[in-house]
Amino acid sequence: MKVYFLLILCYLPISLLAEGERSEHCSFERVCVIYVQDDSGFDVFFRNDIGTSQSIVTIEVNAKVENVIPSRELPFVAKLSGSSEVKFLRFELFDKKAKASLQISYNWILGDFDAKHDDKIIYELPFERGFRYRVNQGYNGKKSHSGANRYSIDFGMPEGSPVTAARSGIVVDMEDQNTEGGFDPKFLHHANYVKILHKDGTIAQYAHLSYMGVVVKKGQSVRVGQLLGFSGNTGYSDGPHLHFEVYRATTEITKETIPTLFRTESLDVTELLEGELHWRRESAMQPISSAIEFERSY
């Protein structure tokens, strides 16, 4: 996400500027930039408002300047911990009687670029026992699983299907107020979702949930199999389904999705393939050798 704000001082004598004046601009009500003016320049702060102390945002900051001198080389990439306001920059006026301008831009993504996925983790399927769903789109799916999304999985779930945690963690972000969806880029930022932070710093995203379809709160710890919400068709979607992915942030302010292994009805450790039908089994049950032998309705 890239955000700009522009601050221009037009030949104002420095004595007419309001010392201590504070202005704030926020991106999606999640990451905010604050500048505070004094008689010789500006302090620039950033704040992570995503809502949990555990959340980390990776942020890239840049600026275009005239007659102001930044305190550090631009651009730069930094981490911003949850619920904290951090001074990242100081801009000193070079000539107090001349025109000055400052245009700051920033990109951000929820996640830690130093996170390293624990590849020994085996994920549970992200739905309750007694339900079975097909993998409509798997890794490197031609429809939309390319680039940063290449290691994502779409489960063909009817709207209102229970969605559960595939791995334990902490809810670091969620959205359930969106009502629109469709296979059009204009809906890219209209998906409802839950994001779960794992112990290794990676994040699982459960997306396209229904309106008011999230039952967990930010900061809440969740266990494997716990209900998170209900599937839907919000956001960039060509039909009701659950989009599941595990990712880490990168210093390029993109996500890097990670291939994950699952426990299914027939195998303890497997990669899910497009077109396969799967369901969760009880922990004490032996793997079922034939999927055809099992029939449960939802």
pLDDT score of 258 more than 90: yes
Q: What is the pLDDT of residues 72-115, one digit of tens each?
A: 999 999 999 987 789 999 999 999 888 888 888 999 999 999 99
Instruction: List the one residue out of 246, 124, 133, 241 whose CA is nearest residue 191.
Output: 241
Instruction: List the one residue out of 187, 222, 194, 226 whose CA is nearest residue 209.
Output: 194
Q: How far apart are CA 50 and CA 73, in angstroms?
A: 27
Percent of the chain with pLDDT over 90: 69
Q: How far apart are CA 272 and CA 152, in angstroms?
A: 10
pLDDT band for 3, please (50, 70, 90 cuts): low
Q: What is the pLDDT of residues 29-64, one digit of tens each?
A: 889 999 888 888 889 999 999 878 888 999 999 999
Q: What is the pLDDT of residues 235-253, one digit of tens each?
A: 999 899 999 999 999 999 9
Please report, in angstroms and rounded to a whole number, the separation of the first and last CA atoms in the chain.
38
Architecture of domain 122-293: Distorted Sandwich (2.70)
The confidence score (pLDDT) of residue 54 equals 85
Residue reference for tokens 């003016």: 37
The confidence score (pLDDT) of residue 4 equals 52
Q: How far apart are CA 180 and CA 41, in angstroms?
A: 44
Residues in CB range of 261: below 8 A, 6 or more apart? 121, 122, 123, 269, 270, 271
CATH dotted code for 2-110: 2.60.40
pTM summary value: 0.88
Q: How far apart are CA 100 and CA 67, in angstroms?
A: 5
The confidence score (pLDDT) of residue 19 equals 61
Q: How far apart are CA 230 and CA 176, in angstroms?
A: 10
Q: What is the pLDDT of residues 189-233, one digit of tens each?
A: 999 999 999 999 999 999 999 999 999 999 999 999 999 999 999
Residue reference for tokens 């296979």: 183
The confidence score (pLDDT) of residue 20 equals 66
| pLDDT, mean of residues 177-184 | 93
Contact 92, 69 (CB under 8 A): yes
Q: For residue 243, what are the β-bridge partners?
A: 154, 207
Give domain limits for the chain.
Answer: 2-110, 122-293
| Backbone phi and psi for residue 149, each to the nearest 5 degrees, phi listed first | -95, 10
